[in-house]
Amino acid sequence: MTRSDCVGMAEEIRTFDETLVKWTRMTGNMNNRYRRISVAPGKGVAGIVKKTGKPWIVEDVGKEIPLSEKHRYPIIINEKIVSFIAIPILKKGRPEGALIIGYRTPGRISKSLTMDYIEDIQPVCKCELGGVHL
């Protein structure tokens, strides 16, 4: 469908004394480091998408995310993602997590294709995705 290099899902994990956003599932991953990534709510790719409730499309990480800011997005570094679509996963209309569709080669995604991808993915994942108006 998307011919992506990797797809992952992040969720907000609440414990007794803190709340973190963690990547809980990943396919096409290069290693298992994604399991150790945890950021504060509102931080990282998943946190930003969950906070805004809107898809985030990056056609070229090297051009759109300054090198000095790249460390704020560990999933991009660990999975060597160079372009991606990150989409909020909604529950009862509220952002509860994020889905990332990542590519390791440039030029594989464009903003014009994003809505098509999201519309195709929503019935497959059997969830409500933010930014979709069907």
85 and 117 in contact (C-beta within 8 Å)?
yes
Residue 134 lies in a domain: no
pLDDT at 134: 42
Q: How many CB atoms lie within 10 A of CB 86?
A: 25
Query: Residues of the chain whose pLDDT is less than 70?
Result: 1-2, 110-134
What pTM value is reported for the model? 0.84
Residue type, 56: W
pLDDT at 121: 67
Residue 22 lies in a domain: yes
Q: For residue 80, give its domain range.
A: 6-129
Residues 6+ apart with CB under 8 A from 91: 128
Q: How many folded domains does the chain comprise? A: 1
Question: Distance (Å, rounded) from C-alpha 123 to C-alpha 44?
Answer: 26
Q: What is the number of residues in the chain?
A: 134
